[in-house]
Chains A and B, each alone.
Chain A
Amino acid sequence: MFTLILPELIVILTAFLILGVDLFVSEKNRVVLAPLTLVGLGAATAAIFFQMPEAGALFGGRFAVDSVTWWFKFLFILSTGITIALSLDMLDGRKVLENAQTPRLRFRGEYYTILLFTLSGMMFLVSARDLITLYVSLELATIPLFVLASWKRDGNAGEAGLKYVIMGALASALLLYGFSLLYGLTGQTDLHAISQGLTPSPLLWLAVALIVSGIGFKMTIVPFHFWAAEVYQGAPTPITAYLSVASKGAGLALMFQLFFRVFGGFFKDWQIAIAVFAALTMTLGNLGAIVQNNIKRFMAFSAISQAGYMIMGFLGPQKESIASMIFYMWVYVITNLAVFGVIIFHSNQTGKEEITDYRGLAQTNPLMALGMMLGLFGLAGIPPLSGFVGKFFLFSIASATGFHWLVAVAAVNSTISLYYYLRIVRQMYIEPPAAGAKALEVSPVLGFTVTTTVLASVALGVFPFFYNIVNAQTSGWMSLFVK
């Protein structure tokens, strides 16, 4: 039974271990912290593999493990690991990057520790089976992110941090209010018990509305997305990447917890609202992205529109819903991190973040440009990349539930998104390089990360096993909650 919580324990122990080691080693030797963190993450992954066929509950049912939690935890660990790989150059400042333009990030030890804390929060979040545990783990996942977002300590970072804290606090407050209404309605804190006790009433709809706005903040669902652009711009780029993947994954996990576990009985009632939110989110996110010139703000709006596609999976109790959403989240995380890998590589070397700064990249650094293009096409959903397969499955759910109009909106939105992704491709491939532009140096870790993520994003779309495994394990999951 103890093994059920082992992955979380490993992550937390690693966090404290890093904090301790950080105290006793000199600045020069702090390069060992990153490998140490990665070893911890590897051990946690192994622990999940080890527990894999086992499902069960601990602490009187407040903490439980099942098929869906495995896949989310893997995802969180993976995105944390890749984020650390992407941060390495900025934290350790390898020799090859001495001419790098971006100032180094300081306080490595704290950086890894805080990242691990937010990871543990996310992992607890998927396993929580009780309103209190759920809320506490959500805060554990969110509060460290406020710190990370303002890590750079300049004007933009300050704005990002403050905006994130205020909006985040507001969202948490709304969510908590919603939770308290749920408790008031049923007198229970256990998620399963609440779902049994709920009957339709105006108060319930109020609770749902409050909870939706709280989740909307995490998932950047329109109209709760306002914080995203500034926070993404001000945060250090690896943290921007992390926010766009792991934080969104946590939002999706939270939606799984509340919408399937708690409100699963009211599928018909919230279906149409989800469709409207999805349509709004993808459309406004896309329209916002068209006018951006800063690549990080651009990725913020791109991430907003992706959230719109993701929640299409909640439209109907289809057999494939769970697998489709988890699969798409994986694909999105991997593809988005590939794109961020190139962005970090580019801004590390040039210190620039405008879209026009990418001109001629295909001629100076053809492989990185190719990686970026494949990543962007993956996000746009172009076959045979996995982004297409993932979107196709999600669209299929909308189609199966009769929301053909939403499929049309979503498919046209994919075209709009292709327009702005092509803006970057155009800079890289069509525009000539600036006069005197030389090939930028690719650090081994970024080169490796971008290569593997791009290859993975292609492979997930071409080879079906990953989807098949996820589907085999999770296809029965929803029937427990949704009738």
Chain B
Amino acid sequence: MGLVSWLVLLPFLTTVAVVLTPASKSRNIRWVAALGTGAHLLLTAFVTWKYWQAASPDFPSMKTALATKLYLVERMPWFESMGIQYFVGLDGISMAMIILTSIIIFTGVMASWNVEVRTKEFFALLLTLVTGVFGVFVSFDLFLFFVFYELAVLPMYLLIGVWGTGPKEYSAMKLTLMLMVGSAFILVGILALYHVSGTHSFDLITLGQATYDSDFQRWVFPMLFVGFGVLGALYPFHTWSPDGHASAPTAVSMLHAGVLMKLGGYGALRIAVYLLPQGAQYWGLFFMAVTTINILYGSFGAITQKDLKYFTAYSSVSHCGFVLFGVAALNMMSFKGAIIQMFSHGIMTGLFFGLIGMVYGRTHTRIIPEMGGLAKVMPWLATCFYIAGLASLGLPGFSGFVAESSVFLGGFFGNPWHDITAMRILTLLATCSVVVTAVYVLRGLAKVFAGPITDAHFEHLTDATLTERISTGMLVATLAVVGLMPGTLINLIESSVYPLVNRLHAIGGKF
């Protein structure tokens, strides 16, 4: 068992430990979960260091590489006759995503410290889900990838259905079914790639060496992109997201908006764009247009919302639109922007949903007009909320700015395959959303936290507890670190973005 396997095994073992802890002691269960995820954080730090050591000497040579280079690789035959392997490893993009997930799950566990109903099942499912997420980010065999991908989606049904609020059964079913239809298309795409490539392998690197004729690329690319797009809240398949996030319990919203939606963008980049460059060139502009709708629709949707969770969920639709926009814009800058946006939005939205859960736990309402003046009684939560809000409207100094500006610059620079004017118009339209975001974020925050306290009940509310401070503090710190020193994250991912772009130029060409 190598290091990378441990990244997946540790959450799984934590799940087992949670299951074995007696159900009567909900405190012990929380501690087991917290220790497991805390240990994972340390493990991630160690693995990152190892990765850096192994990968940094190769950074210069990756500028011209055509295949992504993996480190800490482990391979084992699995269903051998089908060419299926247990093949895990890390490159820069997956390393960044692992760091993100590790932070979110730890803070998520911290934020669910007050779950008292069926605690054991809750943590067991949450950790199963995150096992799937880690698995997706380290798998480089498409079969294994798909196994983890579905494992990451399904526990959501019970998590929302049992511990959710509002129309939870409806939201849970809608979310599960829409995501599963998405993965059905991914399955079609994966099998088609496997058979058409003739490599008799599901290994991403091997599949990347095969050639696919352009007709094939043209029909498989949208299958994969839309299939992953469903999870990345691609318009018009985003409708599960507001309902799902609004109904989900706090930690689940955090994990789902923070990490799970990133699987969509990750898959689109890693599998669809990597394997099918010509397909990407053919469909790039179309998907840029669709994701522009995504971005604008999400932000205008957020303006009209009265419920804090719906508000954040729509803003997530808009922000995840940036990720897919960056992927569709097909150049170095936009890819980097998309990945940083995945990271940044993951942290930011995790913070948002965590805070909403904490505020809701106190006020028992999420309706914005019913709240007011909360900053007086809960200064810590209010400060964190302001920071999250400012980060989400792209204030320089926080990670959101780095991400969004890279995506916009990328879109504005254009690429050799698409009409530069069209790309620029779309980019300008998408940029407008930043203004809209500022409107709804500032207005919402002002209503909830500023001004006099509107309701006598609110006067006796308490500020964040210790676990809540750990949770929110960590997320705020991450936002600031990435915002102030984006170079570290960019260095980490850059070497793995080059191959994606190089493939577009070398294999793609004009179609």
Of B79, B168, B191, the residue contacting A399 (CB under 8 A) is: B191
Q: Chain A residue with minimal CB distance to B180?
A: A415
Tell me the minimal C-beta distance from A223 to chain B in angstroms.
25
Of A320, A323, A426, A464, the residue contacting B169 (CB under 8 A) is: A426
Tell me the minimal C-beta distance from A399 to chain B in angstroms.
4
Write out, one digit per residue, whether chain B residues 139-162 have a CB within 8 A of any chain A CB (1) or not (0).
000010011101100100110011
**Are A395 and B191 also in contact (CB < 8 A) when A412-B184, A426-B161 are?**
yes
Q: Which residues in chain B, 351-371, are within 8 Å of chain A measured between CB atoms? A: none
Is A414 in the interface zone, CB < 8 Å from B? yes
* Residues of chain B contacted by A388 (CB below 8 angstroms): 147, 150
* Residues of chain B contacted by A467 (CB below 8 angstroms): 79, 81
Q: Is the CB of A411 within 8 A of B151?
A: no
Tell me the minimal C-beta distance from A260 to chain B in angstroms.
19
A393 to B194, CA, bound (A): 12
Chain A, interface SS category: helix
Q: Is the CB of A377 within 8 A of B194?
A: no
Is B185 in the interface zone, CB < 8 Å from A? yes
A471 to B81, CA, bound (A): 8
A393 to B168, CA, bound (A): 35
Q: Is the CB of B157 within 8 A of A404?
A: no
Tell me the minimal C-beta distance from A366 to chain B in angstroms.
8
Of A407, A418, A472, the residue contacting B191 (CB under 8 A) is: A407
Q: Is the CB of A320 within 8 A of B194?
A: no
* Residues of chain B contacted by A430 (CB below 8 angstroms): 158, 161-162, 168-169
Tell me the minimal C-beta distance from A426 to chain B in angstroms.
6
Could you tell me how many residues of chain A have their Cβ less than 8 Å away from some Cβ of chain B?
Answer: 37
A392 to B79, CA, bound (A): 12
Is B67 in the interface zone, CB < 8 Å from A? no
Q: Is the CB of B161 within 8 A of A411?
A: no
Q: Chain A residue with minimal CB distance to B196?
A: A399
Is B195 in the interface zone, CB < 8 Å from A? yes
Q: Chain A residue with minimal CB distance to B227?
A: A411
**Are A429 and B162 also in contact (CB < 8 A) when A399-B191, A407-B191 are?**
yes
A384 to B77, CA, bound (A): 16
**Are A407 and B188 also in contact (CB < 8 A) when A320-B81, A388-B150 are?**
yes
Q: Is the CB of A393 within 8 A of B150?
A: no
Tell me the minimal C-beta distance from A451 to chain B in angstroms.
15
Q: Is the CB of A392 within 8 A of B181?
A: no
Of B148, B162, B180, the residue contacting A418 (CB under 8 A) is: B180
Tell me the minimal C-beta distance from B75 to chain A in angstroms.
15
Is A243 in the interface zone, CB < 8 Å from B? no
Tell me the minimal C-beta distance from A361 to chain B in angstroms.
13
Q: Is the CB of A383 within 8 A of B146?
A: yes
Is A468 in the interface zone, CB < 8 Å from B? yes
Q: Which residues in chain B, 383-427, are within 8 Å of chain A measured between CB atoms? A: none
Q: Is the CB of A468 within 8 A of B180?
A: no
Q: Chain B residue with minimal CB distance to A384?
A: B147
Is A119 in the interface zone, CB < 8 Å from B? no
A418 to B150, CA, bound (A): 12
Q: Is the CB of B162 within 8 A of A411?
A: no
Tell me the minimal C-beta distance from B309 to chain A in angstroms.
20
Is A372 in the interface zone, CB < 8 Å from B? no
Q: Is the CB of A404 within 8 A of B158?
A: no
Q: Chain B residue with minimal CB distance to A319?
A: B81
Is A408 in the interface zone, CB < 8 Å from B? yes
Q: Is the CB of B181 within 8 A of A412?
A: yes
Q: Is the CB of A382 within 8 A of B154?
A: yes
Tell me the minimal C-beta distance from B203 to chain A in angstroms.
15
* Residues of chain B contacted by A383 (CB below 8 angstroms): 146-148, 150-151
Q: Chain A residue with minimal CB distance to B157?
A: A422
Closest 10 CB pairs of A and B: A411-B184, A399-B191, A383-B147, A415-B180, A430-B161, A400-B195, A407-B188, A464-B79, A411-B187, A408-B188
16 A/B residue pairs, CB under 8 Å, sorted by A: A320-B81, A320-B82, A362-B121, A363-B118, A382-B150, A383-B148, A388-B147, A393-B82, A396-B194, A407-B191, A411-B183, A411-B188, A414-B184, A425-B158, A426-B169, A467-B79
